[in-house]
């Protein structure tokens, strides 16, 4: 358990230590938000399709109009449910199989009650199989609950840790790193799922 003050301090420390990563995450999040807002994408592309024909002296009107049309088709195709399902399947396909190696800790990301039981089960099995001596749960509204469920499964208090302040996947990473690195934990086993891996935050 950590206080909000400690969480705030840990986050500030993590942002200083991981500034290049943090800046990339902010850029990625901003870009993802922009791409997931149709108005921000469709309107400029429609302008690209029709505006060239309204400028008499503009060269390559057909090129710019065709480019806008192609990008519109690509954007709408990418947002189809079937496309998203194929992308998720592809993401899982490229994940390498579990080699069975050991690590310094097992990190369980919280993502709400529907996913909690399965994640707790996987983390407990990894711990019982001696894959790592320590389990760390991360997430506001999830960290404490995950720890309680792990205790109910017989995992001792000494093998458990958590933070309950992170609101996004980015904060999961920052808070977890800031709390585990001082303990000398460098290699982890991450318990998550494919939809969470696609999380833009």
Helix (H, G, I), strand (E, B) or coil at 163: strand
Q: Residue 39: its pLDDT value, please?
A: 85
Q: Which residues contact 143 (CB under 8 A, 6 or more apart)?
A: 110, 137, 162, 163, 164, 166
Q: Tell me the CATH number of domain 4-17+96-197, given options 3.90.220, 2.60.98, 3.30.2010, 3.40.50.
A: 3.40.50
Whether 125 and 106 have beta carbons less than 8 Å apart is answered as: no
Q: Residue 102: its pLDDT value, please?
A: 95
Average pLDDT value for the chain: 81
Q: Where residue 141 falls among pLDDT bands split at 50, 70, 90?
A: confident
Q: Residue 127: its pLDDT value, please?
A: 97
The answer, yes or no, to whether residue 135 has pLDDT greater than 90, is: yes
Strands across the sheet with 105-109, in order? 160-163, 135-138, 105-109, 188-191
Q: Widest CA span of the chain, in angstroms?
A: 76
Q: Where residue 96 falls among pLDDT bands split at 50, 70, 90?
A: confident
Residues 99, 163, 129, CA angle at the centre, nearest 5°?
A: 30
Q: Residue 14: its pLDDT value, please?
A: 45
The answer, yes or no, to whether residue 11 has pLDDT greater than 80, is: no
Question: 81 or 138: which carries more pLDDT confidence?
Answer: 138
Whether 106 and 131 have beta carbons less than 8 Å apart is answered as: yes
Packed helices 19-35 and 38-50: angle between N→C axes, nearest 10 degrees: 60
Q: Residue 55: its pLDDT value, please?
A: 86
23-76: pLDDT as tens digits: 655 676 677 777 778 888 889 999 999 988 888 888 888 899 999 999 999 988
- Listed by start position, the domains of the chain span 4-17+96-197, 30-93
The answer, yes or no, to whether residue 2 has pLDDT greater than 80, is: no
pLDDT cut 70: percent of the chain above it: 79
Q: Measured between alpha carbons, how far is 199 from 110 in angstroms, rounded to an integer?
A: 12
Q: Which residues contact 122 (CB under 8 A, 6 or more apart)?
A: 191
Question: 160 or 95: which carries more pLDDT confidence?
Answer: 160
Q: Residue 138: its pLDDT value, please?
A: 92
Residues 166, 36, 21, CA angle at the centre, nearest 5°?
A: 45
Q: CB atoms < 10 A from the CB of 30, how many?
A: 11
pTM: 0.60
Q: Residue 1: its pLDDT value, please?
A: 47
155-191: pLDDT as tens digits: 999 999 999 888 788 788 888 888 899 999 999 999 9
140: tokens are 């506001």
């Amino acid at each position: 358990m950590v206080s909000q003050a400690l969480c705030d301090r840990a986050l500030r420390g993590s942002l200083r230590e991981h500034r290049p990563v943090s800046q990339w995450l902010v850029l990625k999040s901003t870009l993802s938000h922009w791409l997931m807002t149709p108005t921000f994408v469709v309107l400029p592309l429609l302008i690209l399709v029709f505006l060239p024909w309204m400028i008499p002296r503009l060269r390559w009107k057909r090129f710019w109009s065709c480019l806008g049309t192609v990008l519109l088709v690509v954007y709408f195709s990418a947002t189809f449910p079937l496309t998203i399902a194929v992308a998720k399947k592809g993401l899982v396909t490229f994940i390498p199989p579990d080699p069975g190696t050991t690590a310094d800790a097992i990190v369980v990301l919280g993502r709400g009650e529907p996913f909690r039981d399965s994640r707790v089960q996987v983390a407990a099995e990894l711990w019982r199989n001696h894959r790592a001596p320590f389990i760390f749960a991360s997430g506001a509204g999830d960290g404490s609950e995950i720890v309680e469920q792990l205790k109910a499964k017989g995992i001792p208090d000494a093998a458990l840790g958590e933070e309950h302040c992170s609101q996004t996947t980015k904060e999961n990473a920052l808070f977890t790193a800031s709390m585990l690195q001082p303990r000398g934990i460098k290699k982890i086993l991450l318990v998550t799922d494919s939809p969470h891996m696609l999380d833009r935050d």
